[in-house]
Structure 1
């Protein structure tokens, strides 16, 4: 194959057209990336909240390379290097004292695991989730994801799930019954455009779940790993879920996810498994990622304030480095303008501009990005 062959033609010929894309990113460093034509961008997408420590953070790169020299893969038939140590750290930062973790390869897989664990633990079959929520595209995680455009082609789906309006406590009370295994909820709905849960909503969910014997499952795939200024967004509420799922920023771009369950909730032998989950490279990358985030976590609120002040004219929704701006039908046009002027942003649902930059983004980069976004929204 000729290396000079046009990548667009190759993609069109050999890759299923499941994505809409206009550029090829070939290199990254910190909060900046470069495309195949050599153009430089401040990346406020970060792989959709994935590149938490920035692109190619030296500590993460070193951890992956060092581990790759020793062992790339080890089956879970054996004790895996770094796995128990990283599990200990994830349980610690989750705040679920006495809990245990299970690693996966993605957020969708983590949510699949949560579905299985909730069914095992409760003996119940059904779930409740919320409109505009997003929990993944595998059949199980899609079953608890509301978005009709991606659900309906694959129906009927299992498990059975009732969807109610985000924040509607009375509807939640009616929906959670004696056969409800769990309630899936995001503290901030990222795919919907960075929409926060109403004040007191998590407390209400917790109370309803306890009354009905259902498990409260907090999906922190996008909001976790320091994104909102705490390790997990639910920690702003003072309420502890039964299960937390996570992925995206957990290993700085190395494919990984996890679920953490409170004390007393765990898979027994042969109830769950995975060939690749929690492998040596993933756990090495994850441990390095957590160490970096520990250092920069105190700076997130200040960076959030800088974004909020810079975008104040557009009434942004700012939760740490998770930012939404309602733009409407001009969202795609605004995102394209930003890209043309060296800033990558993303359109989430319903015309909402979404920014989820690397946590290492600098003040100078924030100011530059804000300037371009303001120009685009004028």
Structure 2
């Protein structure tokens, strides 16, 4: 049997990894400034993370959600405190797409409506409703296009007002910092306005924090950079979806559902979600984020990255926050990415914007790592 050919692959075969370094089958080391799509949040093979998973595997790796699992309660408590979202309830699943699928489903259950407002260049996953809300025609099958989704540009409050006031919208979903879309962001004014209008028109606001959450932006969640002036607090979404960095490579996702939204038996369900190993992995990530001050480090190293990037005249703009960053050139970066991998032995990422190089390292990245990156980039430029 052959593999279903859906990924163009670089000619690199990693066989081990530690911290920021990935080693291939020929013994070549690579600095990892992409983290497998922002998944590696605390570094490859972090000793605390490895110990927690190994220890849990020696006890029990999996049983169904039909029985008690205290590890889920421990995880929810820790996540609520560290994120500042203690007035939410947690549903655990397996991926970002699944998190967004359940978030959209919850919004439809709660409101009794079915239309979704999403935004240009947004990416929310590859499952039914999540992919329908994703602004990429190539990955939307006719089956997905049956969903009622309206895609609007960021920061166009006139267009948003016209759509939300039609009264048939169940959910407004957006990324505080777009990932695949190229690090675009809504303004705080726009974010606050859509939150207010969604509430006034009986729709739920979903913050897709799959990539920008878990400390990557320099705050626990990306939406926390946006202030609600009327209430003197950050924007408060009704639902928050999480994945990627929360498991540091272990497949885990989740949905934070505001406590004002009532649960009922059978509304959501999952076989593997919240299993013992997933809980051990995610709790370990939260403990490392807290104990090593990695969210603060993301903000500090992100600021240093910006300083260094401004020294390079070929860089036309710098996008993003914390360690979720993009540098834009006036040429397409496909060949530059190849040179960074094969000549400089550095992993970086691309985006829908073909002129943008994405930068998503582990949150314990250092200034020395940044210096190595920019020295290599200057050489290739």
Give the TM-score range, shorter chain.
over 0.9
Q: How does 1:170-249 map to 2 (within 5 A)?
A: 170-176=158-164, 177-237=166-226, 238-249=234-245
- The answer to whether residue 174 in structure 2 is matched with residue 161 in structure 1 is no
- Structure 1: gaps of 5 or more residues: 1-12
1:48 and 1:334 mapped to 2: Cα distance?
A: 18
Equivalent position SS for 2:145: coil
2:349 and 2:330 mapped to 1: Cα distance?
A: 13
Contact kept? 2:64, 2:271, Cα under 8 Å: yes
Equivalent position SS for 2:45: coil
Determine which of 253, 257, 275 is the counterpart of 1:257: 253
Contact kept? 1:74, 1:280, Cα under 8 Å: yes
Q: How does 1:134-145 map to 2 (within 5 A)?
A: 134-145=123-134
Contact kept? 1:227, 1:359, Cα under 8 Å: yes
What is the TM-score when the length of structure 2 is the normalising length?
0.92
Q: How does 1:9-48 map to 2 (within 5 A)?
A: 14-22=2-10, 23-48=12-37
- The answer to whether residue 346 in structure 2 is matched with residue 343 in structure 1 is yes
What is the TM-score when the length of structure 1 is the normalising length?
0.93
Determine which of 276, 281, 305 is the counterpart of 2:277: 281
Contact kept? 1:96, 1:263, Cα under 8 Å: no
- Structure 2: gaps of 5 or more residues: 227-233
1:236 and 1:156 mapped to 2: Cα distance?
A: 32
User: 1:271 deviation in Å?
Assistant: 1.1
User: 1:81 deviation in Å?
Assistant: 4.2
Distance 1:310 1:158, change over 3 A: same
- More deviation in 261-270 or 232-241? 261-270
Equivalent position SS for 1:100: strand
User: 1:361 deviation in Å?
Assistant: 1.4
Contact kept? 1:107, 1:247, Cα under 8 Å: yes
- More deviation in 170-179 or 208-217? 170-179
User: 1:368 deviation in Å?
Assistant: 0.2
Contact kept? 2:131, 2:144, Cα under 8 Å: no
User: 1:349 deviation in Å?
Assistant: 1.1
- The answer to whether residue 146 in structure 2 is matched with residue 148 in structure 1 is no
User: 1:327 deviation in Å?
Assistant: 2.8
Contact kept? 2:154, 2:185, Cα under 8 Å: no
Larger helix proportion, structure 1 or 2? Answer: 1
Contact kept? 2:184, 2:320, Cα under 8 Å: no
User: 1:53 deviation in Å?
Assistant: 0.3
User: 1:156 deviation in Å?
Assistant: 4.7
Distance 1:266 1:51, change over 3 A: farther
Structure 2 residue aligned with 1:5? none
- The answer to whether residue 327 in structure 2 is matched with residue 325 in structure 1 is yes
- More deviation in 270-279 or 93-102? 93-102
Structure 1 residue aligned with 2:304? 306
Contact kept? 1:91, 1:260, Cα under 8 Å: no
Contact kept? 1:117, 1:267, Cα under 8 Å: no
Determine which of 102, 113, 133 is the counterpart of 1:124: 113
Aligned residues: 364
Contact kept? 1:80, 1:280, Cα under 8 Å: yes
User: 1:86 deviation in Å?
Assistant: 0.4
User: 1:252 deviation in Å?
Assistant: 0.8
What is the root-mean-square deviation in Å for CA atoms of aligned residues? 1.4
2:154 and 2:167 mapped to 1: Cα distance?
A: 21
Alpha-carbon displacement from aligned partner over 1:56-83 (angstroms, at most 9, x marks no partner): 1111100000000000101000012411
Contact kept? 2:128, 2:144, Cα under 8 Å: no
User: 1:95 deviation in Å?
Assistant: 3.1
1:247 and 1:169 mapped to 2: Cα distance?
A: 29
Alpha-carbon displacement from aligned partner over 1:76-97 (angstroms, at most 9, x marks no partner): 0001241111012223334334
Equivalent position SS for 1:191: coil
1:240 and 1:199 mapped to 2: Cα distance?
A: 12
Contact kept? 1:131, 1:147, Cα under 8 Å: no
Structure 1 residue aligned with 2:231? none
1:250 and 1:187 mapped to 2: Cα distance?
A: 17
Structure 1 residue aligned with 2:365? 361
- The answer to whether residue 60 in structure 2 is matched with residue 62 in structure 1 is no
